[in-house]
Structure 1
């Protein structure tokens, strides 16, 4: 099979219509150039040029091969260029999985920063629970996970990215909506919408443990797995809820958000997790971009 170097020689001769001029163009002497053309014709089993003492003219087969040879050489250059860009992490695809609450503030910043700094990297997004994300990472189905629980397992990297306080979501007509100062004790006997254990285990356990330690007993009227749904229920007057501060960006006409005094350590946390053996160059580039984007947010570590 012919080589790319032979194609370059052929295209130079075909373009210049002269072996001597083609040799100058390729910065080589004429004998090795003629030898490369002869080898190419031998390998193809056809004559590419009609040669006379005064001219070099493409044969009919040579004219057809000229078009294909140009395309092959361009594709080879493109392949090399693409391979270098992929190796540098300048192009490629990164799959980021995330918990739903990350879309309120954190994830939009990540996407904006990623597109700004690396516009040729395709970011594929997958909304999953924390448990689903960890399984997807193990199966190499995602590159980066944004989860609620830390992962301390060999072969995985993990770091806390966002720490934010909880705020109290209150129906507009509720007495706490206008109370000057709200404490945890104010939630005793109140109808309360808590995160579901099945889908939001970190938040459920955090809040349930906090209430037990403080000996505060809200009336749990619903166990829900979505912050958006929780706020929609608060908006109907069904009960109160504690939600991450970033959720205040979700607006409902009949919902008010109030600061509340909570015990130290009761925070909404987001963790970044990944496989340490991930060899996708674009993954490392996007990991850096995510860290950079987080520094623009309040309440980051």
Structure 2
């Protein structure tokens, strides 16, 4: 089989129609150039040039070969460029998993930044709860996860990329919907509470337990759900009230009123929700490192003009593990 070197030598001679000029162009001497042309002719079983002491002319076989030889060389050059781009992380495919809430906060920003900084990387997006994301990261079927802090899992690295506060979600018909302004967690005492699932939404479940315990408030749990949109639908139906991340206000259904929580409450220091980016230490995808760097740059956290969440104060450090083992 002929080689790319032979094709490169052939194209140079075909375009220069002079062995000396072609050798100079390729920065080799004339004897090895002639040898490569001879090997190519032998492989193809055809004479490619008519050589005389005065001139070099292409044969009909040579003229037939030239367009194809140029295409093969162009394809080989493009292939080399594509491989280098993938190896450097600026091209390729990145599978990104995200929680339902991340879809309303960190994910849109990540997609915009990726379009600017990694335009040749194709994104495959998958909505998964946090535990499922961790499982897929371990298996290698997901490259990057946008999830809630978990107990550390061997081989998985995480960094905090965003934090936000919880707010009260109240039916518009409730006496707690008015007046506007912050609401105390003590106002939840004996009220009907729509609670996060202790298994599928453990991160938020445990957070609400800590908030109400610190406030000495005892709402009455009437129903559990694993996703924020489901809880908001229950609030809209007037079944009760709940706490949700501030970014949930971006897809608030009609009939749901949001109120900030009182910052003077004993539980205020606990009122913070983190979002992490996670990836496998074993990942062989070069785009992962570039995406993590892009996500954790100080200026990327979230757009304060468009999102109620706030960026992490120190996105360059890993987030401390939470006690829960599941999150939204």
Q: TM-score, normalised by structure 2?
A: 0.84
Give the 3 Å change call, closer, same or farther, for CA 5–151 of structure 1 in structure 2: farther
Give the conservation status (yes or no) of the 8 Å contact 1:114–1:290.
no
Deviation at residue 213 of structure 1 after TM alignment:
5.3
Q: Which runs of 5+ in 2 are unaligned?
A: 305-309, 314-328
Partner residue, 2:79: 79
Partner residue, 2:195: 194
Partner residue, 1:145: 145
Q: Which runs of 5+ in 1 are unaligned?
A: none
For residues 169 and 144 of structure 1, what CA distance do their matches in structure 2 show? Answer: 31
Deviates more, 1:147-156 or 1:204-213: 204-213
2:51 matched to 1:51? yes
Deviation at residue 221 of structure 1 after TM alignment:
2.5
The 5 A counterparts of 1:134-283 are 134-179=134-179, 181-212=182-213, 214-261=215-262, 263=267, 264-283=269-288
For residues 195 and 153 of structure 1, what CA distance do their matches in structure 2 show? Answer: 23
Q: TM-score, normalised by structure 1?
A: 0.91
Deviation at residue 296 of structure 1 after TM alignment:
5.0
Partner residue, 1:6: 6
For residues 18 and 159 of structure 2, what CA distance do their matches in structure 1 show? Answer: 64
For residues 312 and 63 of structure 2, what CA distance do their matches in structure 1 show? Answer: 64
Partner residue, 1:40: 40
Q: 1:300 aligns with which of 292, 300, 312?
A: 312
Deviates more, 1:288-297 or 1:71-80: 288-297
State how many pairs are aligned: 301
For residues 71 and 164 of structure 2, what CA distance do their matches in structure 1 show? Answer: 55
For residues 17 and 251 of structure 2, what CA distance do their matches in structure 1 show? Answer: 70
Deviation at residue 27 of structure 1 after TM alignment:
3.5
Secondary structure of the residue aligned to 1:242 is strand
| 1:194-241 residue CA offsets vs partner (Å, 9 max, x unmatched) | 122232111112213443554433222321122122222212222111
For residues 51 and 281 of structure 1, what CA distance do their matches in structure 2 show? Answer: 50
Partner residue, 1:92: 92
Give the conservation status (yes or no) of the 8 Å contact 2:133–2:145.
yes
Give the 3 Å change call, closer, same or farther, for CA 258–4 of structure 1 in structure 2: same
CA RMSD, aligned part only? 2.1
For residues 91 and 70 of structure 2, what CA distance do their matches in structure 1 show? Answer: 25
Deviates more, 1:12-21 or 1:103-112: 12-21
Give the 3 Å change call, closer, same or farther, for CA 15–6 of structure 1 in structure 2: same
